[in-house]
Amino acid sequence: MFRETTSLSDPDTAHTSSNYVPSRLERAIYRAKEKLLSLQNEQGYWVFELEADCTIPAEYILMMHFMDEIDLSLQTKIANFLRSQQGADGSYALYKGGAGDISCTIKAYYAMKLAGDPLQATHLAKARAWILGQGGAVKANVFTRITLVMFGQIPWRAVPFMPVEIMLLPKWFPFHLDKVSYWSRTVMVPLFILCTYKVKARNPHQIGIAELFVTPPGREKNYFSHVKTPLGKSILVLDQAGRFMEPLVPGFVRRKATAKARDWFMARLNGYDGLGGIFTAMVNAYEAMDCLGIPADNEQRIIARAAIDRLLVVNDGMAYCQPCVSPIWDTGLTALVLQEIERLDPDPYTQNAIHSALRWLAGKQLQDEPGDWRIRRPHLPGGGWAFQFGNSYYPDVDDTAVVALALIQAQDPAFAGPIERAGVWIAGMQSRNSGYGAFDADNTHAYLNYIPFADHGALTDPPTADVSARCIMFLSKLLKQHPEYRTVIADCITFLRKEQEPDGSWFGRWGTNYIYGTWSVLAGFESAGVPLDDPSIGRAVVWLKSKQHPDGSWGEDNDSYHAPQTCNNSAKGTAFHTALALLALLSAGEISSAEVEAGVQYLLKKQQGNGFWDDGIFNAPGFPKVFYLKYHGYDKFFPLWALGRYRNESFRDV
């Protein structure tokens, strides 16, 4: 083990002593660090690809045919990607290794057929047989059915009634735009326009998928057979009543509601970063602009389309579309990783890279800009960061906590202002139950997840353990200057104790899953000074150790969102999860444990020649059970973080 510091970068030349030999751990850290530094943009940020399932690239092809704006070369590349992702049984999964998902498979099938694949092609035949074996396209989720109805494949009665007059509902009404999550708002508002005016896709080649239905769509009676709850069934009754009453809506009311919806999403178009910074909202806005008669040469419409295209990842033979981009998140986490590495052995080159990243991040802080979060906190000064390059209406506390923590650890007076503003904003965004949601405070109207439209179960943004833990990680660093945050932190710790699962773990809302959640909370507890002999920490440590594989690794796949009892029972070990488990155990004071040593050895063994690791898994949910992501940076910087922390803790204990 390396026991002295140096200002030189290369460990093989860092020591002039003839008997010095860098350890395997040092060499691993050096290679990973150098590779990570090489990926920094000249402006100071890092951004890694953010991959979703095949729904998003399929929707890109569907959008081209909806608008009759078909780029044949790009379409070919996306179709190549879709074919490459098909499962052996013909289906498409929501994440690698997962079970086939009927909605994803339907959209992929339709996209490939639109791209010119013949009906008799083997891959289409396999997908078609699988879909029919699941009951046919009638089983698709609401969002897929909305696509199908606009392409003329099913009747409008197959989708929920979503009139644009929803925009005029009073705040006290059970459903109001302010009561749903930011991602729901940005997707729904332009969708209200599309559905109200029953917009039809241009579909220039008039391609359909009638062959995917067991019962002809016009005769199908069971489009809402998935609605089982009394509340859901009651809303279906109201849905039918609304359809019956729609012809009675005065024209001036419809025009007023349409104008309000138009003004709402146009104000939030967000330039080249797009509405909400998310693909589905951007596409809905672009199509709604066309519906509203905004001409193709209109500057805002041109930029709205360009924002969509900026999400593309195009290679020689394949292309896919990202759901969004994550530069603030990637840069904040990478800065924390490098700060950990530099804690023991600083070098000028890395220090300069960190400072460049922090300057870029500081310039991205949001202050006086309008934002939907102000609806709940109208008197709170701004001070947050978004997830994307730009998303001024929607900063989130998770990104803010990570970035502000990196800034405060830099100990640079130049960042005092951004740090102060971030502290005030995060403290003020605490919900009534003392936890933190991602984008809004008190966005907890859980009953909305049972309406027919919300079959994805993610219409709200309630407080979660992982986000809450990150907030106390940062706020704890401000206690000396701001003792008023002590109550905020103490109340949040109480929330986290209540959120602990019976087995000792914590649920991970924004990363897969219980290992991610447990790492988040134990890191938060460490920062907040929760004693290591605290019973909740002890239970978490026991749980983590029980989940380690014989080879020293940890692993967890997204099946744990569907069946929590399966967590890690059969999942393949990954560098990402092993790193999280190590970081969690180190936060709990387990530096000398055999489990930590075995985990470190696993990471050293799995490091690739380029210095990184490659798990090949989807490692986070967008929405648990329905939408998953692969952060391409997670298996690059989290293992480095764990190795650096292990080295630093080992050195400190000598």
Active-site annotation, residues: 398
Tokens encoding 14: 């860092």
Of residues 111, 113, 107, 115, the one with CA closest to residue 144: 107
CB neighbourhood size of 43 (10 A): 12
Alpha helix stretches (DSSP H) within 476-574? 485-499, 514-528, 535-546, 559-562
3 state SS of 343:
coil
CA distance 45 to 398: 18
Of residues 526, 527, 528, the one with CA closest to residue 537: 526
CA distance 332 to 323: 20
CA distance 285 to 264: 11
Of residues 527, 437, 525, the one with CA closest to residue 479: 527
CA distance 109 to 130: 11
| End-to-end alpha carbon distance in the chain | 10
CA distance 434 to 493: 8
Residue 628: in which H helix or E strand, if any? strand 627-631
Of residues 307, 318, 316, the one with CA closest to residue 284: 307
CA 303 from centre of chain:
24
CB neighbourhood size of 475 (10 A): 26
* Contact by Cβ (8 Å): 397, 492: no
Alpha helix stretches (DSSP H) within 10-71? 24-38, 55-67
CB neighbourhood size of 360 (10 A): 19
Inter-CA distances, 124 with 105, 110, 132, 566, 650, Å:
10, 9, 12, 32, 56
Residues 557, 558, 563, 568: what is their CA dihedral angle, to the nearest 10 degrees? 20
Angle at 519 between CA 518 and CA 522, to 5 degrees: 80
CA distance 561 to 628: 11
* Contact by Cβ (8 Å): 127, 109: yes
* 485-499 vs 514-528: helix crossing angle, rounded to 10: 150
* Residue 268 CB contacts under 8 Å (≥ 6 apart), including other chains: 186, 275, 276, 393
Tokens encoding 616: 């090949």
